[in-house]
Every structure is written in C-alpha cells, then in structure tokens.
Structure 1
Amino acid sequence: MELSDSPPPMLVDGAEVRPVDHLLLRGDPARPALDGRSGTQSYAELEVTLGRLAGWLAGFGLEKGARVASWIAKGPVAALMPLAAPRAGLVHVPVNPLLKHAQVAHILADSGASLLIGTASRLSTLHPSDVPQQCRLHREDDAACAMSGGEALSPSRAEPDDLAAILYTSGSTGRPKGVMLSHANLWLGAVSVAHYLNLTPHDRTLCVLPFSFDYGQNQLLSTWFAGGCVYPLDYLTPRDVVKSVDRRDITTLAGVPPLWVQLTELDWPQEVAAKLKRLTNSGGALTRPLVAKLRTLFPKADLYPMYGLTEAFRSTFLPPALVESHPDSMGSAIPHAEILVVRPDGSITDDDEPGELVHCGPLVAQGYWRDEARTAERFRPAPKASRYGGMAVWSGDTVRRDAQGLLYFVGRDDAMIKSAGNRISPTEIEEAAAAVEGVAEAVALGVKDERLGQAVLLLLRATSPELKAEVETRLKAELPNFMQPREILMLPEFPRNPNGKIDRVALAKAHGA
C-alpha cells in the first residue's frame, strides 16, 4: 500500500505527522518488516495483518477512546497492538508481562480498561476481584486467529493530539501512574530516534526490551519509520541474544546497563559481534569500565548513551563520536525536544551551574491519566526562555550544562529505585510488606549494586524476627522478580524527624543508600 492512500499529513514542530497506525505505510511493500518464530512478513503483508487485528478490535463495539490492555509475551500480536488499537479508535494499555495479578488489577481499574488480551496462563492467575466488571477477557490466541483472516480496517484519520496509548510507570510514592501519549508523541518519537540513530531500511532490530516501556515500544516504531525489520525476542538467557544476533543478522540492539554487563561477560565470536552496527542504552547510566568493554567487544558498533523519562519519551543522547571523550555526559537534546536547565525561579542556569532538567516541546506527554494532582506536580508551564512554551515536564532531576552544551547528571530528587532498567516505587514494596500481620513499619531503599545499578534493601520494624520469612514469602507471591529485595533487615526502631515521620534520609545514610 502506498503512503498516498492515507490522508494528508499534518505539521507539528515543522515535521510531517501522521496517525501512528500509518507507520507501516512508509516501508517498501516488498521488504521484511517483522521476523520471528511465526515467520517473516513484508510491509505489505504486515499492513494487512494490522488491519485485520484492528478490525477484530473494532468488532467489540467499544466507544471511541476506550482502553484496551494487553498482557502478553513478545510476538506478532504484541508488536502490532500499539498500532492496531489506535487504528480502531481505541487507546492501548500495554502491561509488563513480569507483573503479577495485584499490579495488573490496579492498571485495569485505574485505566478503566474495557478489554484485556492476555496469554491463557497469565489470565488464569487473575482473581475475579482483579477484573473490573466492564472488562472483558480474551486470550492472545483469539487475537492471533483474527490476524490470519477477516476484514481489514483501513488506516485511521486520527488527529495528532488524539490519545493513542497509556503507559504505566512507577512513581516515588503510590502505585504506578498512567502516562497519556498522543499519536503525535509516538510518531515524532519514532521520527526523532530513527533520525539520530541513522536507521535505514537495511537495519534489523532485535527487540529484547518489554513493549510496555516507552524505550521498548520505540524499538518497533523507530525501525518501522526507517523501513527496517524488527525481530521481537523474549530471551531466557543472555546467550539467546548472541544466538539471535548471529542467526538473524541483527544490526541494532537496545539495552539497559544490567543487560550490557551480562552480554560483555559472554564469549562473542568476532564475526557475530561485527554484525552489530549500533548499541543504544537508557534506563541508567553506563559506567566508564562498561563503556570500555562495549567498545572493545563491538568495535564496529556505534554506542548511543541516552537519557529519558516516560513523561516526555526521550530527552537527550550522546553522539558516538563523543562517547570516548565525554563518557559521563548525557549528551544534548534529541530532535523535537528542547532541554533547559533552570533555577528554582525558572531562570536558565549558567554553564556548570546545577539546575533542574525541564523538557519542552511536542514530545511532552498529555499528563497522567485521571490524576490531576500528580499531573500538576510534574507538568507545568514551560520556563519563559522556552521557544515552545505550553506545558513542559519538570523532571525533578538535577543536571548541569557545560560550555559545549553537553549535560551531566547530578542527582535525582525523588526516592525512586532504578534497578535493571526498571523504575521501582518504594511505596509499593512497603505496602506489600506491611500487609503481613505483625509488621509495624517498612522502608524500601535503593542501594548500589554493580550488576543492577541499584538493588532493593527492605528495612522492617516488626513484633517478631520470624516475620522476616513470612514477608519474603508474601513478596515473592505478590511482586515481580525485579522488585524483590536483595536483603531484608529487621530494626528495633526507625529514626524520626521533628514531625514524627520516619526519617528516610537518616536511614538511607545509615545503610549506604
């Protein structure tokens, strides 16, 4: 299908923007777009498959803007849902496959999902009380069958600001919150990344990151914008990644620091390592020793360190040519992003003066779903110096800008724990622990870990030392693996601040957090 078959593009930030479900229309119809265990589909074939999946979703008769959640492993259905739901006039809510029933129940209730598509094994773990009354459950197999036949829905005529997805991300307090992303957010994110990574129709991207993350989802969208091919992979061991790079002639690999640590510990045949042309990193900073290992192991691959936040997708990247000379830098703004470093009064800092990172421009999300209070905290009017104006994301992260315009991370103001690329809410862990009878108080901290970036340390004040084992059992049943504490310590008392609240700063200092 030719791009001319779709409605005229719209201009946002000087760039052509189309509904996100039009991405496949850009590719050469004969070139491969999706590869995997189910076989290879060309852009023309995948566009038909997309239309059928969208038609199946539309057949449920849901109102425009209804939320459709997916809780599935990576495969054709997971790869196409970010495009199929918006094509059907619906809003996609991807759920991390690692989450367990309590987190899924929260996302379903908070989003008001009308439909949940999941693997049979995952759906079987849900309790009746986990599923809202209006939410219907369907197996992934049903969606897969629909993609093999049936009537295909034509490309949508969505407006740039129409809501396309809600991605749930943990905050420093409370349960995960849904970030609202428009068609323009997703489209321009794909445009931006494809541009600065220099992706081409000859590139093949190995998608190892979960599609429930904006970083993981963009693996698909940016590659398709460039006309390349994606290969989704749910890997069991890091060695599976090496095998896939070899067998599928992978050129592009996105990862987080813990994955790079694991991959650099493996034996990479020289001819396999040489297939990779670019490596991208986000979800935590790369250490200098790790950068050195990656450059030695993959001498023909460009390395792109990046910084982002779900509320604005991606903010900065460091060009490969500067990695060796500025290994600690976050880089500078990606295309379609304006990054300012400001003082508390909103004025722009001087060179090397620490300030808050503020992200302005069309990549800024529409706020948190049904949460005006938290939206008002993070999404505020842009500083006067912004060329865009409008709403901006005030990150809460302290950075500094050098004379060359390169940014450097200084610190994070909130209490988030960042482990293996996951943003973990301490409150969620603490609530699960405190649900055990006899646990008076619980505090979760992030402590330095060479492999994970940060590991979870859980501090308990309880009536009996024996409760430690009971808490461990409950956490394993209620929380995903990446949220499990590395260590649980029992304390007789917690320090208090003048207001009588737990002094988390004192606890963090005492325990090396």
Structure 2
Amino acid sequence: MSAPLDATVCPLDHLPLRGLADAPALVLRHATLTYSDLDRRVGQLAAWLKRKVSGKGERIATWASKGELTCLMPLAAVRAGLVHVPINPLLKRAQVAHILADSGAKLLVANKARLDTLEPDDRAVAVIFDEGEVIFEINDLNPLSPSNCEDQDLAAILYTSGSTGRPKGVMLSNANLWLGAVSVAHYLRLAPDDRVLAVLPFAFDYGQNQLLSAWFTGGTVIPLDYLMPRDVVKAVDRHAVTTIAAVPPLWLQLVELPWPSEVAGKLRRLTNSGGALTPSLVRALRATFPQADLYAMYGLTEAFRSTYLDPALVDEHPTSIGKAIPFAEIIVVNDDGREAAPDEEGELVHAGPLVAQGYWQDAERTAERFKPAPPFSKLGGMAVWSGDRVRRDAQGLLHFVGRRDAMIKTSGNRVSPQEVEEAAVATGLVAEAVALGVPDPQLGQAIHLVARATGEADTAALIAALTRALPNFMVPRHVHWRQAMPVSPNGKLDRVALAAELAQELRV
C-alpha cells in the first residue's frame, strides 16, 4: 500500500515516500535503492544542490547517461526549489551550448567525456561538475526534508530535440509532472509489483514519466541505456521486466529479434509513443507478446500525453490514438472554429491541467501554440493548439491524419504523409517509410517516399502495390531506398534530416 499524501508537502516531492520502505525503487548497474534509500538520496542530492545554487527557481542541468544522478535529479531539484533541465545525452556540443545559454543554467552535471567536448565559452555559462564528483560529495550530507513547493512552481524545462531549428524549452510545473504521473499510472494500471524498463531518454517527457508514474505506484524502475536492441531482450530476462515504453523504430527492431517465449511472457504491457503504430507493427507486437497489453498513445511535450487507446480495442482499431487520458480534455476544432462533427477533420486542441506553462523566454512562439480553449471547451483556460490534424469517429475514437505543416499539397489535393506511409508498410515490401513533398512545377509538390525495404528493394513492385491501394494523386512519384533510416535523439524517425538529405540529392 502506498503511503498517504501529506497536504503540507509538495505531492511531487513526496514521491519517494509512496512505496514501502524496503521495497526496491531503483535498480542501478551496481546497486538497488529501496524507497527508504531513494528518499534519503534525493534529500542528500537536494542538500548538495542548495549548497551550490541558492536562488529559488534557478536552473540546473544534467547531461549524462541513465544513472543515479539523472534518475534522482527530477525530484531533488524540486526539493531544493530549483528547476531541472535534462539534456539528452545524444545531443552534441552545439545543441548543448544553446540549451545552457538559453536556460541560463547555473550548474551542469555531466560525465568527463561530455564535458571535454565543451568549449571555454560554453563552460562559462554554468559551473561544471563531473557526475562521479557529485556522487562522492553527497554521500555524507544530511538529507534535505520534503519541500512546501507550490503546484504552479516551475519544476523542469524540457527542450525539444531541435530537429526543426533551435531547441525550445517547454516549461513544466510541479502539477504538470505530478498529474502526469497519476494519469499514466491510472490508465496503465501500474501496480507495486511492476518492474518498468526505462528505455526512453529522460529528456523526453514520457521518458521522465517512466520514473514518476512507477514511483507513484510503488513499483521498480530499471534504467537502461541500450547499445543494441538485443540489450533490451537481455534486460527483460535479467530483471523480470513487466513494462516497456518505446517508439515505433525501436519496436520494429525488437519484433525482428528472436524472443524466447519465457522471456516475452514476462511482459505485461507495452506502451507506444512518439509515432503512430501501423497495422503490420501491431500484428507483429501481438504475435511476439501475445499476453501483453498494448497501449497506443499520442502526446505533445507541451501537454504531456493527450490520448491513449484501450488495449482491448487495439486489434480492431490498430491506427487509432484512442481517447483523452485522465485530466485531459481533447477537442477537435474544424477550419471554421467550431467543434468538428464525427469523422470531420480538424485540429487537435488539448485543455486541462496537463497543459504546460509555455516556452521558456519565448513569448512569440508561446502565443502561437498556447491560446485560450475554444468557447465550447468544458475545462476552458489555456489550451495547446497542436497543429495536428485528427478526426473523431462515431465511436469517439480519435485518428491521426497528419501535421498541418507536414501535409503535402499535390495536384490541388491535400495528402497526409502518414496515409501514404501506412499504405507503403501495408504492402509488406517496406519496413519503415517517410513521405515528403518536394516542390514540382506541374504538381505543386510531388510525393517522394524514403523507405527501408523488408527484403530486396523493388521500386516497381512497390509502386504497383501502391497504385492498387491508393488514388493516383497519392502514389509517390519517386522512391528512395535506405539501408537505415535516421532517427532523432528521442528515437523517432527524423523527417527533417531526411528532407535535408533528399534536397541535397536532388540538387546534385
């Protein structure tokens, strides 16, 4: 049984006290922290932070792999009255320098190899600490007690990957993170005996939630920085993992591996975010993990998660993103500004307490995305206008159509890249695909498909299959085969990188 909440302390800061004192909370490479250990270590790290950075609301950054410090920092920063800025360890010097300067971080904790890549001007932004040095220094400190932080105090700034320009920081409050943990724990039905393999990067909103939602229920987190997909199989076996969250490119790699039935059988639930599932991938996941519940999800960093699909509906509706998660109101607004009718396409708008506080020091872009909810909203207040096009079917299930700014305009028609990509994968000839619009004097934009083949690349067979499945105006004019598809630091297919590659190829 989880510990009750004390109304005099910050709920987010109270997470280390949710589990049984002697129950495992965090399985590290060389040690396991119980919930009692977790509370003590969070308190010690918070005490160290207070010594180094005294001003309330100051930003402190981490740029390291998944270890004790990166796992504890989201809670230790809150306890110390500071704001955590997690930096994806896959980012390079230029992006990290921008994040440090933009956030005004007073302190950076990283490993020596990463610190050595920074230039003198980058280091001048923040006081630098090697993570081993920090661990040594906190060992003898008296723990700081849970804080009295306010719900709307800023807790974290999560920077987008920067694939569409300079990374921008999404401001998350204590309430955003706390309610996100409660919401996910509720609809995933997490329990104290669950063991969550934390594969996603902690700089990714759902990656960080792996920690918080598991600890809310008194479960165990096993952080993993995998080098090869096979490392995930080994970790599931070694740690009796019950829950994995991943993005579609990783799921594709995982279902292509041999899974011993006794290892696959350990998993109770699979959760997907960061990209749409395809019918073929759903079938592969169901065949590989027949006993596991499969949760398809859709989310925005600006509002955490927005929707999930009940696992009981996955087989019948494999491409749906489901319905609103707890604490979220999801509205579909048509082009006339009214609530969209069933099966009418419109923009997905997210209202409710999971909505972030905007972009850090960027009023212009905040005003573009964060606007008042439409008048027919039940919750009202500030909402995130996603720019994503969706439709709600007669059963109330939502279906992703495409990004407003990614729609391809060809021959006077608006084409969803996702629809072309799903059709390509459905042929069985393609494992992964990205459809892009390339300027064309006759068509406005011509559809180019960048794809990884399931076997031998066969353009003629693919075009023939797509011609049978799609209207002529949706059939790609060109196919570009790749041995491997580029992914962003968050593990998603990198459309911007592919578009840049393709533009370069077509200019040559």
Q: TM (normalized to structure 1)?
A: 0.80
CA deviation map 1:430-454 (0-9, x unaligned): xxxxxxxxxxxxxxx99544599xx
Maintained 8 Å contact 2:101/2:125: no
User: Which residue is equivalent to 1:124?
Assistant: 116
For 1:366-381, what aligned pairs fall within 5 Å after superposition? 366-381=357-372
Determine which of 341, 347, 356 is the counterpart of 1:350: 341
CA deviation map 1:375-427 (0-9, x unaligned): 000000001111111100000001000111100011101359999xxxxxx9x
Q: Distance in 2 between matches of 1:363 and 1:186?
A: 8
CA deviation map 1:319-357 (0-9, x unaligned): 100000111111000000000001234320100000000
Please report how far the alpha carbon of residue 171 of structure 1 lies from its aligned counterpart in structure 2 after TM superposition.
6.2
For 1:261-340, what aligned pairs fall within 5 Å after superposition? 261-340=252-331
SS class of match (1:380): strand
Please report how far the alpha carbon of residue 134 of structure 1 lies from its aligned counterpart in structure 2 after TM superposition.
4.5
RMSD: 2.8
- Between the two proteins, the alignment pairs up a number of residues equal to 437
Determine which of 95, 107, 115 is the counterpart of 2:99: 107
Q: Distance in 2 between matches of 1:480 and 1:225?
A: 24
Q: Which amino acid aligns with 1:315?
A: S
CA deviation map 1:128-150 (0-9, x unaligned): 1223x351111111222234321
SS class of match (2:315): coil
User: Which residue is equivalent to 1:73?
Assistant: 65
Q: Which amino acid aligns with 2:179?
A: L
Maintained 8 Å contact 1:346/1:384: no
Maintained 8 Å contact 1:257/1:283: yes
Maintained 8 Å contact 2:4/2:18: no
Please report how far the alpha carbon of residue 38 of structure 1 lies from its aligned counterpart in structure 2 after TM superposition.
2.4
Maintained 8 Å contact 2:349/2:384: yes
User: Which residue is equivalent to 1:465?
Assistant: none
Please report how far the alpha carbon of residue 28 of structure 1 lies from its aligned counterpart in structure 2 after TM superposition.
1.0
Q: Distance in 2 between matches of 1:446 and 1:281?
A: 27
For 1:128-167, what aligned pairs fall within 5 Å after superposition? 128-131=120-123, 133-167=124-158
Q: Which amino acid aligns with 1:67?
A: R
Whether 2:56 is the aligned partner of 1:54: answer no
SS class of match (1:340): strand
Q: Which amino acid aligns with 2:28?
A: G
For 1:174-189, what aligned pairs fall within 5 Å after superposition? 174-189=165-180
User: Which residue is equivalent to 1:8?
Assistant: 8
SS class of match (1:311): coil
Maintained 8 Å contact 2:53/2:107: no
Instruction: Report % sequence identity.
Output: 61
Instruction: Check 1:449–1:312 CA distance in 2 against 1; reply closer, same or farther (3 A cut).
Output: farther
Q: Distance in 1 between matches of 2:83 and 2:179?
A: 18
SS class of match (1:308): strand
Please report how far the alpha carbon of residue 60 of structure 1 lies from its aligned counterpart in structure 2 after TM superposition.
1.1
User: Which residue is equivalent to 1:468?
Assistant: none
Instruction: Check 1:491–1:33 CA distance in 2 against 1; reply closer, same or farther (3 A cut).
Output: closer
- 5+ residue gaps, structure 2, are 408-416, 422-435, 437-446, 455-485
Q: Which amino acid aligns with 2:232?
A: V
Instruction: Check 1:179–1:490 CA distance in 2 against 1; reply closer, same or farther (3 A cut).
Output: closer
SS class of match (2:302): helix
For 1:331-480, what aligned pairs fall within 5 Å after superposition? 331-415=322-406, 448-450=450-452
User: Which residue is equivalent to 2:34?
Assistant: 42
Maintained 8 Å contact 1:53/1:146: no
Q: Distance in 2 between matches of 1:341 and 1:373?
A: 24
Q: Distance in 2 between matches of 1:183 and 1:240?
A: 33
- 5+ residue gaps, structure 1, are 10-17, 420-425, 427-444, 453-475, 495-513
User: Which residue is equivalent to 1:237?
Assistant: 228
SS class of match (1:414): helix
CA deviation map 1:469-508 (0-9, x unaligned): xxxxxxx9xx9998665946547879xxxxxxxxxxxxxx
Q: Which amino acid aligns with 2:137?
A: A
User: Which residue is equivalent to 2:90?
Assistant: 98
Q: Which amino acid aligns with 2:300?
A: L
Q: Distance in 1 between matches of 2:103 and 2:148?
A: 24
SS class of match (1:327): coil
Q: Distance in 2 between matches of 1:448 and 1:490?
A: 14
Maintained 8 Å contact 1:82/1:92: yes
Q: Distance in 2 between matches of 1:480 and 1:30?
A: 33
Please report how far the alpha carbon of residue 36 of structure 1 lies from its aligned counterpart in structure 2 after TM superposition.
2.1
Maintained 8 Å contact 1:19/1:157: no
User: Which residue is equivalent to 1:506?
Assistant: none
Please report how far the alpha carbon of residue 314 of structure 1 lies from its aligned counterpart in structure 2 after TM superposition.
0.4
SS class of match (2:52): coil
User: Which residue is equivalent to 1:472?
Assistant: none
CA deviation map 1:14-34 (0-9, x unaligned): xxxx44221111111111100
Q: Which amino acid aligns with 2:62?
A: S
Q: Distance in 1 between matches of 2:27 and 2:284?
A: 30
Please report how far the alpha carbon of residue 359 of structure 1 lies from its aligned counterpart in structure 2 after TM superposition.
0.1
Maintained 8 Å contact 1:71/1:95: yes
Q: Distance in 1 between matches of 2:323 and 2:191?
A: 23
Instruction: Check 1:446–1:157 CA distance in 2 against 1; reply closer, same or farther (3 A cut).
Output: farther
